[in-house]
Amino acid sequence: MGTGLRERQKLARHERIVTAAIDLFVEQGFDAVRVVDVAEAAEVSPGTVYNYFPTKEDLVFGGSRAFEQELVDTLASRPAQVPLLDAFRRFSIRVRGALAQQDQAPIQAIARHAQVIAGSPALQLRARQNFDRCTERVAELIIAERGAAVTSAQAWVIANAMIGVTQTMQNIVHRLAIADRPVTEIATMVIEEGRRALDQLEAGIGESQLT
């Protein structure tokens, strides 16, 4: 079996598990669904589910770590002459994922994810933990780059503000997806609001602190 075929099969299995899980979470609520229920609905073993998703929460937040890693890598690998906030702006206002497609189906999937999160205190806590972890990594990057030129408290304030923009943009996508707005409208609005938030961020922080 070729590597390409194996990867396609793994991706298809991954998507089947996620779809089955979200369907169950929407119907029954996140807390009421067991991993064994997801496995049965996806026609795989519970062990297979855990191979793809170490925790039940990962069935909802599976893409969070990939997004976080992409953000941190983008900031860390930027050219030396590029200010941190410039790199963050370019990363943040790039249309990606479901918003880059013309199909409304991915937006409907986002809406279902958002509804599941809104209905579960455990998932809302996990979402905050994800943002906190990302904030910590960005703060550590700022400290590593700036050294004595920035205090730990300053780095955390800057990182919190940056990830706050990311969280705000995500919230806009979720709200408009739940309202079933067209994908082009969502993409336009989230980019416009993101630019405004980034303008405020840069005005408040000032590039002089990060160059």
| pLDDT grade for 96, boundaries at 50, 70 and 90 | confident
Tell me, yes or no, whether 30 and 72 share the same domain: no
Tell me, yes or no, whether 74 and 169 share the same domain: yes
Whole-number pLDDT of residue 196: 95
pLDDT tens track for 14-54: 999 999 999 999 999 999 999 999 999 999 999 999 999 99
Report which of residues 143 and 65 the model is more confident about: 143
Q: Tell whether the torsion through CA atoms of 156, 161, 165 and 171 is positive or negative.
A: positive
Tell me, yes or no, whether 105 and 125 share the same domain: yes
Tell me, yes or no, whether 70 and 32 share the same domain: no
- CA 187-206-160 angle, to 5 degrees, is 60
The mean pLDDT value for 43-66 works out to: 93
Tell me, yes or no, whether 175 and 113 share the same domain: yes
Q: If you count them, how many residues does the chain have?
A: 211
Tell me, yes or no, whether 29 and 88 share the same domain: no
| pLDDT grade for 177, boundaries at 50, 70 and 90 | very high
Q: What whole-number distance in Å separates Cα of residue 166 and Cα of residue 71?
A: 10
pLDDT tens track for 109-130: 999 999 999 999 999 999 999 9
Number of independent structural domains in the chain: 2
Tell me, yes or no, whether 172 and 81 share the same domain: yes
Whole-number pLDDT of residue 208: 47
Whole-number pLDDT of residue 210: 58
Tell me, yes or no, whether 43 and 69 share the same domain: no
pTM of the model: 0.86
Tell me, yes or no, whether 54 and 68 share the same domain: no
Tell me, yes or no, whether 143 and 202 share the same domain: yes
Q: Which domain holds residue 34?
A: 3-58
Arithmetic mean of pLDDT over the chain = 92
**CATH number of residue 39's parent domain:** 1.10.10.60
Give the DSSP letter of residue 106.
H
- pLDDT of 211 higher than 70: no
| pLDDT grade for 6, boundaries at 50, 70 and 90 | confident
Tell me, yes or no, whether 52 and 107 share the same domain: no
Q: What whole-number distance in Å separates Cα of residue 196 and Cα of residue 193?
A: 5
| pLDDT grade for 88, boundaries at 50, 70 and 90 | very high
Report which of residues 6 and 117 the model is more confident about: 117
Give the DSSP letter of residue 32.
G
Report which of residues 210 and 47 the model is more confident about: 47
